[in-house]
Amino acid sequence: MKKVLFFCLFVLASIGVSKAQLNPYSLGLRFSGNDGFGSEISYQQLLQKETRLELDLGIRSGNGWSGWALNGTHQWIFPLATDFNWYLGAGAGLGGYSVDLSNGSSDSKMFVSILGQAGVEYVFPDIPLQISLDTRPNLGLFNTRSSSLVADVSLSVRYLFR
C-alpha cells in the first residue's frame, strides 16, 4: 500500500512540475464527509481558459478497514460574477482497500468508479487563495465497498500558483 501511495504522490508532483511553466495550477485540501475518503490532497491544472483537470488523493483507515483512492475529473468552468465561478466535471477513480475479517485474515481489493462533479468557487482577488463547495457523486463499477451512488459533498481550500 505504501508503494501505491508513493507512486500516486510522484504522479501528482510530476504533473505539476511538467506544466507549471505553461499554465497556472493550485494545490490544497478537499475536506469531505464520511461518504468519501475524508480529507484529500487536491490538485488542479488549467488546461484551457475554460477547462481544467482536478486530481484528488484520499487515504483513510479505521474500524478494521483501510483504503486509498485517486479521483480525476475534467471540469468545465463557467463564470457567475467577478472572481466567482461554477463548474461541472466528469471523471473516474481508482483505489484499493483492505478489510480485516472476523477469522483474523484480511481481504484486499482494487476498485474503479465513475464520477461527476458540480460546485461553486470563489477566487480571492488580493491573495492567491481559492475556496470551493462541491458534490462529487460516484458509482463503483467493481470491487466497491458499496454498490450505491455516493454523494461526497466537500469544502476545498487551495493555494493558487500564478
Q: Name which of 135, 159, 162 is nearest 26 in CA terms.
A: 159
Which of 59-63, 129-133, 141-145 has maximum average pLDDT? 129-133
Instruction: Quote the pLDDT of residue 61.
Output: 86
pLDDT-derived band of residue 43, with 50, 70 and 90 as boundaries?
very high
- Answer yes or no: is pLDDT of 15 > 50: no
Sequence-distant (6+) residues with CB within 8 A of 90 are 73, 74, 114, 115, 116, 117
Most distant pair of Cα atoms in the chain: their distance: 58
Give pLDDT tens digits for 84-131.
Answer: 999 999 999 999 988 888 888 888 889 999 999 999 999 999 999 999
pTM of this structure: 0.80
Report the alpha-carbon distance of residue 5 to residue 7 in Å, rounded: 5
pLDDT-derived band of residue 143, with 50, 70 and 90 as boundaries?
low
Instruction: Quote the pLDDT of residue 34.
Output: 60
Structural domains present in the chain = 2-161 (2.40.160.20)
